């Protein structure tokens, strides 16, 4: 079928008009505003040296963390708790912190890193009646629920030695020289040994009333990055620099019986990090997981907390 001349002109005009309109019009991405009543999320940080409450480190190092949660409809609150000490004493302060930060009878989620997960479990049991129905879920990140070989070694348990890592042995002695009078660090170290956590778990079994989720992390030993840091940063845990070395990874792996016990982030094994519903093991090292410290020349906290938020969204729709 032939198209008339006028028909060609009409088509040409339509095409030109479309091109002009498309060239002048831009499609703006849909912007979403945070909800007026975001769900509170209480972040509980882990063990640190010194006396400064852990909340200041978190907020000063990564202030963007609060904004990240707000963009997804959550109001992040960071608990100001002692960086070390007896677990039950820190749990008492955490209980008062959650009351200070989350007003009224609001329900909230808890996200805890490392020893913070142990403190959280202690609080939930010690103040069960006061918190009934308020805690929506608990997510732990590299929490040593079954203890840590590193704690065993640093606390002088010679049975935990055997990796053949002289730098780690040097670190153990150095740590005892640097913190000889720091009772808080000693109390935390004793609490996180495998033996102590075995007793803790008998006293504080998994809470069936509150959904528990957990993540684990792992560093890959044997690559250039790990080997370089192994030699350059033998006292990493004391100075909290860039990344743990292959040395610490191997100290744990040397005592692992199952594959899950050999996989670790330099301080906590995959097996020990698993509690409740285990959401997977990802690449990362213990200190940089929730701080501004670099791992392989980039920060990894955004991708870690994105995984946490995705799971919180999933929990919301259960």
DSSP run (H or E) holding 245? none
HSE (side-chain half, CA atoms, 13 Å) at 32: 6
Q: What is the mean pLDDT of residues 132-153?
A: 93
| Residues paired with 76 in a beta bridge | 41
Query: Is the pLDDT at 135 greater than 50, yes or no?
Result: yes
Query: Is the pLDDT at 112 greater than 80, yes or no?
Result: yes
CB 269 within 8 A of CB 106: no
Confidence class for position 229, pLDDT limits 50, 70, 90: low
273 is a domain residue: yes
Mean pLDDT of the chain, nearest integer: 79
Per-residue confidence (pLDDT) for residue 130, from 0 to 100: 93
SS3 138: strand
Query: Is the pLDDT at 1 greater than 80, yes or no?
Result: no
Question: By residue range, what is the domain housing residue 291?
Answer: 39-316
Domain containing residue 270: CATH number? 3.40.50.1820
Per-residue confidence (pLDDT) for residue 22, from 0 to 100: 32
- Gap between the terminal Cα atoms of the chain: 60
52 is a domain residue: yes
47-51, 132-136, 137-141, 174-178: least confidently modelled range: 174-178
Per-residue confidence (pLDDT) for residue 131, from 0 to 100: 93
67 is a domain residue: yes
> pLDDT tens for residues 74-104?
999 999 999 999 999 999 999 999 999 998 8
For the entire predicted model, the pTM comes to 0.81
Per-residue confidence (pLDDT) for residue 173, from 0 to 100: 55
β-pairing, 212-218 with 135-141? Answer: parallel
4 is a domain residue: no
Dihedral sign, CA of 200, 267, 83, 62? negative
63-77, 119-133, 246-260: least confidently modelled range: 246-260
31 is a domain residue: no
SS3 161: coil
Q: Of 86, 106, 85, 92, whose CA–CA distance to 42 is shortest?
A: 106
122 is a domain residue: yes
DSSP state of 129: H
Per-residue confidence (pLDDT) for residue 239, from 0 to 100: 37
> pLDDT tens for residues 266-304?
889 999 999 999 999 999 888 889 988 777 778 899 999
183 is a domain residue: yes
* Biggest alpha carbon–alpha carbon distance for the chain: 97
Query: Is the pLDDT at 170 greater than 60, yes or no?
Result: no
**Residue with structure tokens 């998994």?**
206
CA–CA–CA angle 30, 32, 34 (5° rounding): 175
306 is a domain residue: yes
Q: How far apart are CA 8 and CA 311, in angstroms?
A: 57
Domain count, the chain: 1
């Amino acid at each position: 079928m032939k198209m008339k001349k006028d028909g060609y002109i009409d088509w040409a005009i339509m095409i030109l008009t479309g091109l002009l309109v498309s060239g002048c019009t831009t499609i703006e991405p849909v912007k979403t505003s945070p909800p007026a009543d975001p769900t509170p999320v209480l972040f509980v940080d882990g063990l640190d040296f010194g006396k400064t409450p852990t909340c200041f480190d978190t907020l000063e190092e990564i202030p963007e963390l609060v904004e990240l949660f707000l963009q997804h409809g959550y109001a992040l609150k960071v608990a100001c708790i002692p960086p070390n000490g007896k677990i039950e004493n820190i749990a008492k302060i955490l209980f008062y912190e959650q009351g200070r930060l989350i007003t009224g009878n609001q329900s909230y989620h808890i996200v805890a890193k490392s020893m913070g997960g142990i403190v959280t479990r202690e609080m939930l049991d010690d103040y069960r009646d006061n918190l009934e129905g308020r805690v929506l879920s608990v997510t732990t990140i590299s929490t040593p629920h079954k203890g840590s070989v590193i704690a065993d070694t640093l606390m002088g348990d010679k049975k935990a030695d055997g990796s053949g890592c002289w730098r780690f042995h040097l670190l153990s002695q150095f740590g005892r020289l640097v913190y000889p009078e720091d009772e808080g660090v000693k109390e935390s170290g004793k609490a996180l040994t495998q033996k102590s956590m075995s007793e803790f778990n008998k006293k504080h079994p998994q809470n069936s009333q509150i959904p528990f989720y957990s993540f684990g992390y792992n560093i890959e030993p044997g690559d250039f990055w790990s080997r370089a840091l192994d030699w350059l940063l033998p006292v990493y845990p004391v100075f909290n620099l860039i990344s743990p070395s292959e040395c610490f990874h191997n100290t744990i792996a040397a005592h692992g019986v199952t594959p899950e016990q050999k996989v670790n982030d330099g301080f906590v094994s995959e097996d020990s990090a698993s509690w409740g519903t285990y959401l997977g093991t990802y690449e990362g090292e213990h200190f940089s997981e929730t701080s501004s410290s670099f791992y392989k020349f980039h920060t990894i906290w955004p991708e870690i907390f994105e995984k946490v938020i995705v799971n919180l969204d999933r929990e919301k729709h259960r």
